[in-house]
Chain A
């Protein structure tokens, strides 16, 4: 889980072009939107692309988005659950 979260942080910085943020600046439980990392709705779409591109996961229910993309930890939890489900 720790490795996955570290990888995700690097991928988020790269995919979202956050040139003034280092992966280690992103806390595991830091909210990614609004007062946390300050991501916006376009970033949310980029996160969906990131999951498809790197983890071959499609978000079946868009209403789950805010829950899945709350923090790096919630994304990692979602990926782990999805991978276990597909074993």
Chain B
């Protein structure tokens, strides 16, 4: 979970920065602490950075091992879809439209970034809802596992709008 400039794993704070640190600075500091060596991170929008970091924190600790790429799926949800980036892109149109921003004007791009990093090629879905409906996400995940569509799933909530953000990610395996 990532919230209020704190990163939690299994309900324990494993890393934090002062709460008044801006989101871009927090994301950069977290990247330096947990990863580095992935320059594409700097080009991602805030939504992708948050999802990518949360996946990194979980999968470095406990990787999905022994699964074919097609057997690992992603099921995510949030409230604001890609609106945070949509507005930034809209701003850039007034001058020169930014191709680098444009590619992040879809909410599910965060799943693409996580998939590229970890080589996942399984089923994926991205939902939008006002609040984190854990029942829906877990139900959908269970159904994917039950049907045999995938054997492991990274699922949860990745929300960002301006300076407000929250990430809750779970690893679920058969």
Q: Do A and B bind each other?
A: yes
Which residue of chain B lies nearest to A44 when distances are taken between CB atoms in the complex?
Answer: B99
Q: Can you give 25 contacting A-B residue pairs, CB < 8 Å?
A: A16-B43, A17-B42, A17-B100, A18-B39, A18-B42, A19-B39, A20-B39, A20-B42, A21-B39, A38-B39, A42-B99, A42-B100, A43-B100, A45-B99, A45-B100, A46-B98, A46-B99, A46-B100, A49-B96, A49-B97, A49-B98, A49-B99, A52-B96, A53-B95, A53-B96
Q: Which residues of chain B are within 8 angstroms of A38 by Cβ–Cβ distance? A: 39
Q: Which residues of A contact B (CB under 8 A)?
A: 16-21, 38, 42-43, 45-46, 49, 52-53
For the complex, count residues of B whose C-beta is within 8 A of A. Answer: 10
The verdict on B29 contacting chain A, using a C-beta distance below 8 Å, is no
Contact with A along B27-70 (1 / 0, CB 8 A): 00000000000010011000000000000000000000000000
Q: How far is the CA of A20 from the CA of B38 in the complex (A)?
A: 9
Min CB distance A86 to B, Å, is: 21
